[in-house]
Structure 1
Amino acid sequence: MAENLQFKVSSALKNIIGRELITDDFIAVFELVKNAFDAYAKEVRIIFREDKIIIIDDGKGMDYDDLINKWLFLAYSAKREGEEDKGFESNGFKNYRDKIETKKFYAGAKGIGRFSCDRLGDELKLITKRAASNSRTEQLTINWKDFEVDAKEEFINIHVKHETLESVEYSGFKHGTILEISKLNSDWPREKKLELKHSLEKLINPFDLFDGKLHPGEKTFTILIESENDLEQDQLEKLERNKVNGPVQNFIFETLNLKTTQIRTEINESGEYITTELIDRGIPIYKIKEKNKTSPRLSNIKYHLFYLNRAAKINFKKVMGVDSVSFGSVFLYRNGFRVYPFGEEKEDSLGLDRRKQQKVFQLLGTRDLIGRIEIIDESNIFKETSSRDGGLIRTPSYYQLVDIFYEKCLKRLEKYVVSIQWQLEEDKWREDLSVLNNLDTKTKILRLISNLADSKDIVLLDYNKNFLNIIEEKLSEATPEVFENLTKIAAKTNDNSLTQEINKATKEYERFRKAAERTIREEKEEKARVEEELEEKKSENIFLKSIATRDFDQMIGMLHQVGIYAETIDIHLNRLFKKVKNGLHIEAQELSDVLQKIIFENNKILSFARFASKADYKREEQLTKEDLVSFIREYVKNIEENYRVLGLCLEVKGDLNANFIKQFKPIEIMIIVDNFLSNSKKHGARKVEFLFHKISSKELEIRVKDDGKGLDKTIEKPIEIFEKGFTTTAGSGLGLFHVKQILEELNGSISLNPELEKGIEFIIRISQ
């Protein structure tokens, strides 16, 4: 005969849904704060006392029935079942109900968040009072250890003490909930409290103010931290953020809004359209709209990314007192509350850094970005893991969310940052667009916008007509591509006035072009005539004639280089002299090696002498076209023994078979290498590394890194070290100036890696 049976629930279940599920103290506090938010609280106070944490909110509170039928009902969620606000329609709740707005969704809805108290301490005293007329103050006292005595004891048989109170010790308490958690499971030193405060800053979406959701001055939801033991130390802190006591607030994003490059991508409430807007340091660049064809289930989602250049990172640290990389990266908010671990330092939940490793210099990673993904999820299609620190459950909707993040937001930001901003090294240090305000860069931006406008699925809503008004620039420097792109944009935006301006400018440009072609043709003819006359003349006193026209800076650079080679010869000769003077025996082989090194350096000086005197000029300054990587590798190999005896080890790494064919003067490449090695030796380096990376078939990157003393900390603007005459040693300040000069002639550039902690690293980029 069949019979009905029931599950028995062990008291050990408390650990499973308590401290074993919520494994992080901060997550436990977050869950309790979110419960207060769901209870319509305007303010939450987190109070630290000796071996006690008290969390007080001014929300709607609970009555006796709520405690029995909701709070003590394990895994039951009135929020999920739609019963949370039932009863608020009665007159008893009228005054409080009139002060609040009806919630569309809740921060927590699993029915187990209350067990976060078990994570924090062994004992809980819950005091609560309903926001209604004639309500009473109820109290529950729970010792979580009672559930751990005997796992065979059933959960329902563990008693929880209930009392009705006449009064409470907390002044000003009218309604809401008080959680007194004692016999804490872990210590809470000052550093941990500050870390909690900094994490709470990011618990509630800090970007809402800039999305127009909150009104300045309106009190919406405030979190306060109180710790009497930290008041004295707080008095010594200048930065409010580094004080334990006080309101939790996030104030950095207003600054970022004005001084960074940002992109906003939004899926509208119906899920039909996606809008994307790119803004660069306060200047709108473009705004587009397209149909949401790939993810029709997604709606009411916003992506907001900030790219931080060097200037923005410095500004961030000044305001926040912490490096941007330590603050976090791309956070995710669901219904206004943060989902962990998205955005945490060293967390790569969206795979940004794994992706960046594939193309280090072409993609953005967590160190470059700060931002958020905000989901308004009324349909509950996104679900958090029960542990609350495992992010979102991986569903098809989640993967669509990430796909749009990459395709419609991040990649468009990268297209602008990498192809435009990163091409101008100086722009990394600017808080405005002054470096981009030139015809070449504006042409690139126009090309980017034109390519977007070319798509039949994209509507160009707006672009910056003032910043991109190339027609008012020098038409003689423009290209036909500029007019083609402007014509496309004018057609896409139905801008008739712009079309008329373009037609007028095109005609003027054609006149400039024809006049320029005629001038060039005449100059070529004149040049050919002069060269023919010069060829017929005798080359008397060639040096005196040539030095009058030779670039004076180049001659100074040569003298500086001769000094480097002479200094190396001097070192070798002094070592021999000391051995002879001290009566030390010198082996024939050792003497032969030293003399060979001296001859090697002396030959370099003779080459410069021949070059400077113009004797055999063509042979010494002859351009060669070959693999630049192989040339540098072989040259370093030839000189590495000379530097090894001086205590400097040379290494060549990276794409050694890059086969980067480039036209260059061998002597100038030797000058570049020798200057780097001379500087490294002066700054106490023991090792110099040359790292080659072929970015593309037309671009080569060379990184030269040493382990010396590095850049002088007193240098405020590192770019100054490439200026003529700049030095922090007894040198002439010409070496790096000469290197920069040669590289620019090679269609190259040089910069510093400012993030290197020890030594120095030069970054060279050479284009075909």
Structure 2
Amino acid sequence: MAEESELHFDVSTGLKRVLGRELITDDEVAIFELVKNSFDANANTVRLHFEEDQIVIADNGDGMSYEDLTGKWLFVAYSAKRSGRPDGDFRNVAADRRHYAGSKGIGRFSSDRLGASVLVQSRKKGQSKLVQCLLVDWDLFENDAKEHFDRIPVTHAEQEKFDLPKDLRNFEPELSHGTVITIRQLRRPWPRPRLLDLKASLAKLINPFGQEIDGFGIHLSVPAERAEDKRVSLMALKKKEKPLPREIVNGQIGNFIFSTLKDKTTFIRVVIEEGQVVTTLTDRGELIYKIAEPNPYPSLVDAGFSCEIYYLNLSAKTTFARRVGLPSIQFGSVFLFRNGFRVFPIGEESNDWFGFNRRKQQGFSRFLGSREIIGRVDVSGSDEDFQEASSRNQGLIDTPAVAQLRRAVMEHCLKRLERYVVPVSWTDAADGKTDDLSRLLTDPGRARVSAAVANLVDNDKVQLIAYSRKLVDLINERSSDFESSLVSLRAIAEKTGDKKMLARLESAERRFDDLKKSEADARRVANKALAAAEAASIRAATAEAEIETERRRAHFLESFINVDSATILNLHHQVTIYAVDIAQQIENFLTETAGKNSVPRETVLRTLEQMAFLNRKVMSVTKFAAKATFKLDSEKIDTDLPGFIFDYIEQIAKTTGSARLQISVENLHPGMRLRFNPIDASIIVDNLVSNARKARASRISFVLSKQDRGGLIIRVEDNGRGLAPGTNRARIFEMGYTSTQGSGLGLYHVRQALGEMGGSIELDDQVSPGLGFIITITARSKSA
């Protein structure tokens, strides 16, 4: 065997280009790498300053000593972060505050991408008062590719203070320690569009949820752009608006849109802590549920995993676009942050690293995709588990921990959010256009929320920690969803061991059964009498029937007709049923409160509300009986809803109202056929008219028009006194809430009736003086 000898690698100056411009292929990524170094140096502030031919990046981090510069910064591909050395090492970070954003030891070559030379000034925390300076001319490395890398000189000097541009001198008091990097002889200019793009990217780099999460702020200063910033701000001021952050170059970088979205849309937050996956779902400011379950992801136990995903309905998308200045889809989807810094390109518009869009293609109407969601996933850990690709813009290298990360986001974040959004919000198309809970506070809305929570906790491993008492509660016994809601509420009460809720459910179920039995008996008696009367009427009034078929058909007759025996019995039929219902409510209340010295206000209010609603039905029947061309013995009719409301206002509300209140109606809708309860429609109109009269209005108007996809919008406006001072506008539709001497039931009944019709009501802030409402009813072929 030939004699062995040792050889060694030699390194050409060409290594600089490989680690610099050829590895870091994007100017923005190059700046990101330098900002990451500031973050890793324990800085809380970094200043980016752009001049015509230089970029300055200054931070108040731990800084570097002479030994750090010579033994580590100039040691190619060495990373003290990766070596895991103790405190005091190169730009080390306290473990209890941050993990490292970078660990390749090549970020220092980012400056080569940006300019021909770099000046590094640094003062070590707690050590020398002198500032250490290194000047590197990158072009010297390109004169001869055969030259040895380590033979290219780098200039070192010491000075008493940092040499800063004029605009950064106000930052000098914070630089008792820190680093200032000045990149000169820029390879490309930075016009305003590039600077705005950089600012937008940096905002997503540090934290799209606001800087308070990691206590790290970035400030951008570009003197040449201040005049244009001022012009943009003045233009916005003339429109009585604030300039959009993405339109202004100078200032602090950050995204504060998410603090607004938290109260405007549905979002889920999932964290792994103490061996459990803890999930909290919030809908438009209301906590819907908080659950805990065993953690099935061993690689994420100590990884600080957290995920926050927002569902953007149409209203939230509009808010986002208005505040940020571009559609949410262009901003990005779900970003991944490793050790506090963004991992590119995960979350970009065309990136589907989590697989959301591939899955959505399998069920477009059942699954959420990147167009409907936006959010952030955080994870921390070593390169062994979570390592970025060397190119810095290709995401994470696949490892078992990365596979578990993807699965956790899909199974416990996206799918959990989906299991609420699809059955609760997507079922009601109009809910996607609201930024409040108005449509969920109706009986059908509450029933959907209760069912979603019940389905979620139907698992022995899931612990229900908290849930919304506002939305997950007993609904009205008259609602068609009452019985199915009882099943959901029972499952939730049993899961939480809520004995009070179980007792309330038992009581509600008894009242409901008694009510159904009484109503069934009343219907049998009334139906028998009505059938006999109708048979007699048919025999005795054939001629009158033939005349009636020739008359103009409408929902209501043009004038009062003679009240014949059939009409009287029709009236009697309905009044009998509602009167029996009222009697049963009274009996239920007396039974429930027997032997008690005091009765909770909530119990009294609930019973009075039921009776008030039934009484309102009786009053409506008496109005209908003389004028309706349809029979009231069936609960629902299938007809043109806008036409029905128009006819009701013209032929009944006007003629039975007060002479002091002028009522007008305009129907601009081409027609929308719907199956609905006519009594519900009358209650909506009558309550709004009654409220206007109490507010001493002299006029009230109803304008019916077409909504998108054929839905109905009703704008109601009166010239009364409006809301009383101090009224909580968010509560005016709640049962029993009143700022006057009223019952607090009128607007509550309006919202409940609309809920049964698939509609909602909200205040119209554009009406003043007086009071206005906007009613929205979604178009659909049938209503249950």
TM-score, normalising length from structure 1? 0.68
Report the residue type matching 1:290 in the other structure: E
Match of 2:323 in 1: 319
Shift in Å, 1:456: 0.9
| 2:228 pairs with 1:223 | no
Which residue in 2 is equivalent to 1:287? Answer: 290
User: How far apart are residue 235 of structure 1 and its match?
Assistant: 0.6
Change (3 A) 1:672 1:487: closer
Q: Which structure 2 residues correspond to residues 176-187 of structure 1 after superposition, within 5 A?
A: 176-187=178-189
Q: Which residue of 1 aligns with 2:17?
A: 15
- Aligned to 2:85, what secondary structure does the other structure show? coil
- Is 1:329 the counterpart of 2:323? The answer is no
Shift of 1:281: 0.3
Instruction: Confirm or deny: 8 A CA contact 1:298 1:397 kept in the other structure.
Output: no
Matched with 2:428 is: 424
Unpaired stretches in structure 2, ≥5 consecutive residues: 234-242, 559-628, 630-637, 639-669, 673-703, 716-753, 760-777
2:231 corresponds to which of 231, 236, 239: 236
SS at match of 1:108: coil
Distance 1:131 1:512, change over 3 A: same
Q: Which residue of 2 aligns with 1:6?
A: 8
Q: 2 CA distance for matches of 1:306 and 1:724?
A: 28
Q: 514, 519, 534: which one pairs with 1:516?
A: 519
- Summarize the Cα distance change of 1:716–1:203 in structure 2 as closer, same or farther, 3 Å threshold: farther
Task: Give 1:53's match in structure 2, choosing from 52, 55, 68.
Answer: 55
What is aligned with 2:570?
none
For 1:72, the aligned partner's letter is L
Name the CA distance, whole Å, in 1 between partners of 2:442 and 2:419: 19
Q: CA offsets per residue over residues 230-251 of structure 1, 9 Å max, x none?
A: 0100112232612211111221
Structure 2 match to 1:132: 126
> Which of 258, 264, 285 matches 1:259?
264
2:142 to 138, 141, 148: 148
- 8 Å CA contact 2:210, 2:254 repeated in 1: no
8 A contact 2:450–2:473 mirrored in 1: no
Which residue of 1 is the match for residue 84 of structure 2?
82
- The code of the aligned residue for 1:499 comes to L
Q: Within 5 Å, give how 1:267-286 maps onto structure 2.
A: 267-268=272-273, 270=274, 272-286=275-289
- The CA RMSD measured in Å over matched residues stands at 3.6
**How far is the alpha carbon of 1:276 from its aligned partner?**
1.1
Q: 2:179 aligns to what SS in structure 1?
A: strand
Preserved CA contact (<8 Å) 1:128 1:177:
yes
Corresponding residue number in structure 1 for 2:593: none
Report how many aligned residue pairs link the two structures: 567
The residue type equivalent to 1:489 in the other structure is I
* Aligned residues of 1:298 and 1:401 also touching (Cα < 8 A): no
Q: Is the 8 A contact 1:306 1:369 kept in 2?
A: yes
Q: Once the 2 structures are TM-superposed, how far is the Cα of residue 476 of structure 1 from its aligned partner?
A: 6.2
Give me the identity figure in percent.
38
Decide whether the 8 Å contact of 1:122 with 1:145 is kept in 2: yes
Q: For the Cα contact (< 8 Å) 1:273–1:291, is it kept in 2?
A: yes
Structure 2 CA distance for aligned equivalents of residues 265 and 384 of structure 1: 23
Q: Secondary structure at the match of 1:199?
A: helix
Query: CA–CA distance in 2 between the matches of 1:250 and 1:724?
Result: 35
Find the counterpart in structure 1 of residue 497 from structure 2: 494
Counterpart residue identity of residue 109, structure 1 = S
> Is the 1:288–1:458 contact (alpha carbons within 8 Å) kept by the matching residues of 2?
yes
Could you tell me how far apart the structure 2 residues matched to 1:381 and 1:515 are?
67
Supply the distance in 2 between the matched residues of 1:17 and 1:133 (Cα, whole angstroms): 31
SS in 2 for 1:237: helix
Partner in structure 2 of residue 433 of structure 1: 437
CA contact (8 A) 1:22 1:116 kept: yes
Work out which of the residue numbers 366, 383, 387 in structure 2 matches 1:383: 387
Deviations 1:389-429 (A, max 9, x none): 11111222212111121211211211221211122222122
> What's 1:363 paired with?
367
- Tell me, yes or no, if the aligned pair for 1:125 and 1:142 is still in contact at 8 Å: yes
Quote the Cα distance in structure 2 between the aligned partners of 1:717 and 1:335: 51
Deviation larger for 54-63 or 277-286: 54-63
Distance in 1 of aligned mates of 2:65 and 2:705: 63
Q: CA deviation at 1:532?
A: 4.1
In 2, Cα distance between equivalents of 1:144 and 1:553: 89
The corresponding residue for 1:587 is none
Does the 8 Å contact 2:98/2:339 carry over to 1? no
8 A Cα contact 2:38 2:46, kept in partner: yes
Is the alpha carbon distance of 1:209 and 1:223 closer, same or farther for their aligned partners in structure 2, counting shifts above 3 Å? closer
- Look up the match of 1:483: 486
Answer yes or no: is the 8 Å Cα contact 1:12–1:148 preserved in 2.
yes
Rounded Cα–Cα distance in structure 2 between residues aligned with 1:519 and 1:116: 85
Q: 1:718 to 1:484 in 2, by over 3 A?
A: closer
Alpha-carbon distance between aligned partners in 2 of 1:22 and 1:327, rounded to the nearest angstrom? 23
1:350 is aligned to: 354
| CA distance 1:279–1:476, change in 2 (3 Å) | closer
Q: Match for residue 35 of structure 2?
A: 33
* Contact 1:139–1:163 (8 Å) recurs in 2: yes
1:130–1:423 distance in 2 versus 1, CA, 3 Å: same
Partner of 2:117: 123
TM-aligned CA distance change 1:209 to 1:530, over 3 Å: farther
SS at match of 1:353: helix
Report the equivalent of 2:508: 505
Deviations 1:404-461 (A, max 9, x none): 2121121121122121112222212212111112222222221221122221111111
How far off is 1:466 after superposition? 2.5
CA deviation map 1:34-82 (0-9, x unaligned): 1011112232111111121111112222122111110011111011112
Please tell me the residue identity of whatever aligns with 1:106: Y
Following superposition of structure 1 onto structure 2, how do residues 654-693 of structure 1 map, counting pairs within 5 Å?
none
- In structure 2, the residue corresponding to 1:470 is in which secondary structure? coil
- Name the CA distance, whole Å, in 2 between partners of 1:724 and 1:444: 24
Counterpart position of 2:26: 24
Offset of residue 131 of structure 1: 2.5
Tell me: CA distance 1:87–1:24, structure 2 relative to 1, closer, same or farther (3 Å).
closer
- Structure 2 residue identity aligned to 1:231: R
Cα distance per residue 1:697-724 (max 9 Å; x no partner): xxxxxxxxxxxxxxxxxx9994597549
Mapped to 2, the partners of 1:153 and 1:354 lie a distance apart of 50
8 Å contact from structure 1 (residues 63, 135) kept in 2 = no
> Residue 183 of structure 1: CA displacement?
2.1
Aligned residue number for residue 301 of structure 1: 305
CA deviation profile, 1:80-110 (whole Å, cap 9, x unmatched) = 112373369xxxxxxx99x988655211111
Amino acid at match of 1:385: A
Partner Cα separation in structure 1 for residue 300 and residue 163 of structure 2:
51
Q: Distance in 2 between matches of 1:764 and 1:77?
A: 63
Structure 1 unaligned blocks of 5 or more: 89-95, 215-219, 556-613, 615-622, 624-670, 674-714, 727-743, 750-762
On the 8 A contact 1:262/1:306 being kept in 2, the answer is yes
Bigger Cα displacement from structure 2, 514-523 vs 194-203:
514-523
Asked whether the 8 Å contact 1:55–1:180 carries over to 2, the reply is yes
Q: d(CA) in 2 for partners of 1:386 and 1:356?
A: 31
Structure 2: distance between partners of 1:383 and 1:537: 91
2:101 corresponds to which of 107, 112, 118: 107
Taking a change above 3 Å as real, the CA distance of residues 764 and 187 of structure 1, as seen in their structure-2 partners, is: farther
Q: CA deviation at 1:206?
A: 4.1
Q: Distance in 2 between matches of 1:456 and 1:76?
A: 51
Which letter maps to 2:288?
A: I
Aligned to 2:676: none
Counterpart residue type for residue 232 of structure 2: E
User: Would you say the 8 A contact 1:476–1:509 is kept in 2?
Assistant: no
Q: Cα deviations across residues 295-333 of structure 1 (Å, max 9, x unaligned)? A: 454442111111112222222233223322222211111
Judged with a 3 Å threshold, the aligned counterparts in structure 2 of structure 1 residues 12 and 453 are, in CA distance, closer, same or farther, namely: same
1:399 aligns to 2:393 (yes or no): no
Cα distance change on mapping 1:476 and 1:324 into 2, 3 Å: closer
